[in-house]
Structure 1
Amino acid sequence: MEKNQSVYIMLSDTGTLFTKSIKKYTKAPYNHASISFDPDLQELYSFGRKNPSNPINGGFVREDIFKGTYSKYPETTCVIYRLDVSDRDIIKMKRVLSVFKKNQSKFLYNILGVIGVSLNEPVEFSNSYFCSQFVAEILHRSGIRLWDKLPVLITPDDFRNNSRLHQVYEGKLFDYEPIKKRL
């Protein structure tokens, strides 16, 4: 199968109290995962804060770098990876994503799942995800298997350590050239 398309996975660290807490435990440099179908990250999706000022209300979000949570944290660091996929993979991923878009109000943030990952114990609820679980779920449901474990056990560091992902950029989010051009 010809791999002539790409999907982009961004791992980030905003430096918020929540991310600092996770980082203290994981010792990983990034603790948030998002997925995009364009290298400019104009359409970026994840599970996170629905309102940038409220860390409690989380769920499925289309992340807006200039108006959303990232705009409040200009020192955010990130790493962006490219995953080469086929045209058919992109169609399947966008189909899965459309289910999230159509039903976004029904999805919740899976905070217990985050705790479950730390215990290596899957904690799943219907319509409930955390960021890396969501990105892994999009790939998994599209037939892309990057790991031999359930999406609910995938961490941002699992993406960082996967040899099928090609690093495109690492540094401050707002120094990433396609984003700098839009400032």
Structure 2
Amino acid sequence: MTAKTYVYILLTDTGTLFTKSIKKYTKAPYNHASIAFDPTLKEMYSFGRKNPSNPINGGFVKEDVYTGTYSKYPDTTCVIYKLEVSNRDVEKMRRVLNVFIKNKKKFLYNLFGVLGVSLNEPVEFSNSYFCSQFVAEILQRSGIKLWDKLPALITPDDFRKNDELQLVYEGKLIEYPAIKRNHS
């Protein structure tokens, strides 16, 4: 029997103008998705702002709760889920992730993809992703299929509504017990 471990899916709402605009359309409580490899969210990745002060410059980012974008928005609300996977699944995810890490400067934020989701038309460009597309892509390329649709059509709310994900925490990000303990 293969040992099981977890990856963590973090959905957030920072309350920025961009997220408020998306929320108005989607009516979903969270509009940003990230993937983490530990419950303390120390190793967390997504597609978002490269510079917390510049919402226009987006791409592949290693996120940090205490620096970067989240540090500018202390009232960020979140929901955190865990997904049970095998150690082999994690190895595959890390291999896929390493391609993003090694080529991070080549990746762009897929703003047209976000618009495509609203039209239910996948808009895919080479080296271009939006947050939930990226997380779904990491999972799918690792052999984990949570939906019968393309990663380019996955929204943060699709994660929230997926029965395979187990709720870990919901509330203010900065009050999440695992990071509070780890940061003290």
The residue identity in structure 1 corresponding to 2:137 is: E
Once residues 37 and 102 of structure 2 are traced to their aligned partners in structure 1, the CA distance between those partners, rounded to angstroms, is 18
Structure 1 residues 21-40: aligned runs within 5 Å: 21-40=21-40
Q: Which residue of 2 aligns with 1:118?
A: 118
Report the Cα distance in structure 2 between the residues aligned to 1:22 and 1:142, rounded to whole angstroms. 29
Q: For 1:18 and 1:128, how far apart are their aligned partners in 2?
A: 18
**Partner SS for 1:42:** coil
Q: What letter corresponds to residue 95 of structure 1 in structure 2? A: R
* Contact kept? 1:133, 1:154, Cα under 8 Å: yes
2:45 aligned with 1:45: yes
Partner residue in 2 for 1:130: 130
Is residue 15 of structure 1 aligned with residue 15 of structure 2?
yes
Distance in 1, matches of 2:140 and 2:155, equals 14
User: What RMSD over aligned residues (CA atoms) do the two structures have, in Å?
Assistant: 0.8
**What's the counterpart of residue 5 of structure 2?**
5
Give the % identical residues.
Answer: 76
Aligned: 1:168 with 2:164: no
User: CA–CA distance in 2 between the matches of 1:29 and 1:68?
Assistant: 22
Identify the residue that residue 154 of structure 1 maps to in structure 2: 154
Q: Structure 2 length normalisation: TM-score?
A: 0.98
Larger deviation, residues 137-146 vs 171-180: 171-180
How far apart are residue 65 of structure 1 and its match?
A: 1.1
Residue 21 of structure 1: SS of its match in structure 2?
helix
How far is 1:2 from its partner? 3.5
Worse-superposed segment, 21-30 or 2-11: 2-11
Cα pair 1:77 1:172 within 8 Å, conserved: yes
Gaps of 5+ in 2: none
Q: Would you say the 8 A contact 1:3–1:84 is kept in 2?
A: no
In 1, Cα distance between the equivalents of 2:152 and 2:3?
27
Normalization by structure 1: what TM-score? 0.98
Residue correspondences, number: 183
CA distance in 2, matches of 1:87, 1:72: 35
Q: Is the 8 A contact 1:14 1:76 kept in 2?
A: yes
Q: Distance in 2 between matches of 1:179 and 1:100?
A: 25
Q: Distance in 1 between matches of 2:49 and 2:2?
A: 36
What does 1:100-119 correspond to in 2, within 5 Å?
100-119=100-119
